Chain A
C-alpha cells in the first residue's frame, strides 16, 4: 500500500538542476517527507526531510506544496555521481522507514 508515487526513471544533463517529483496525496498531519538515495548497491543515504516548510542543505532542496500533497527534491547542479535511485518516503516519528521503488535518476555528460 504505497504512500508515495514517483516516476520510475528520469534523465538529467550534468550541471543542470534535477527536479524529482513525489506525490503523497494521503499524507497525514504528523507525517514527514524524507528523501534518500541509493547509489548502485551501496547503503541508502539520507538526503533531506521536511514537514511543511521548504528545506535546504548542502546536498539538496526540498519543496513541499502548501497542501503537502506533493513535493520536489531539487539537486541544483547534478553531477555524474548523483546517478542513483531516489526514494521519497512519508513517515511518522517513531515508525519504520519503508522504502518504495523510487526514481532512477540518470545523469549524463
Chain B
C-alpha cells in the first residue's frame, strides 16, 4: 500500500539552527500538508500546499517556516532559526489523486509516521 515517508525520524538541533524536514508524499497526490504535535498536546495544522503554492496556513506558520516542493517527489518544511518551543513531532500528509477534481480537496489525508524534532 502506498505510504507517506518522512525523514529524519528524529533530529536533535541547537536553538537558532536551521532545520529541514523532508517528506515523500504518495506519488499521485496533489495536496500536501504539514502538522505538528507538541508532546502531550493535540495535532496542530501548520500549512497546506497545492499547485506549487501555499493554499492555507495557520497562525503558527510564521516567517520562520517555509515549505517547498523542490522536485516531483519531495515536500520539505524548513524552520529557519529553531526555538525551544519548536520541539515537537512534525507530520507530513498528502491527499487527492488522479481522477479527483483539482479543487475537490478531500479530507482523506494520508499521514507519515512523523519526524521528531528536539531543540536544545
Partner-B contacts on A (CB < 8 A): 32, 34, 38, 41-46, 49, 87, 89, 91, 93-102
Contacts and interface: CB of A to CB of B under 8 A. Distances in A.
A32 B105 CA distance: 12
Contacts of B106: 93
Interface of B: 4, 33, 35, 37, 42-45, 48, 56, 58, 89, 91, 93, 103-114
A90 to B, nearest CB: 10
A91 B43 contact: no
Contact of B108 (A42, A49, A95): A49
6 contacts: A34-B107, A41-B37, A45-B111, A49-B108, A97-B45, A98-B45
Q: Which residue, of A45, A49, A95, has the highest number of chain B Cβ atoms within 10 A?
A: A95
A63 B35 CA distance: 28
B44 A96 contact: no
Given A41-B114, A95-B56, 13 more contacts: A32-B107, A41-B89, A43-B112, A43-B113, A44-B109, A46-B110, A49-B107, A49-B108, A87-B43, A95-B105, A97-B109, A99-B43, A99-B44
